[in-house]
Structure 1
Amino acid sequence: MARTPYADEAKQELREIARHAGALLDATAGEADERIKKARAQLEERLAVAKGKYAELDGILDEALGDAAAAADRVVRERPYHVIGGAFLGGLLLGWFMSRK
Structure 2
Amino acid sequence: MAEESSEKSKIWRIVLDVLKPHEPSLPEFAQKIGAIEGVEGVDVALVEIDKETETLKITVDGSLDYPEIKMKIEEWGGVIHSVDEVVVGERAGK
TM-score (norm 2): 0.26
TM-score (norm 1): 0.25
Q: Which has the higher strand share?
A: 2
Q: Which has the higher helix share?
A: 1
| Structure with max Cα Rg | 1
Structure of higher RCO (CA pairs closer than 8 Å, 6+ residues apart): 2
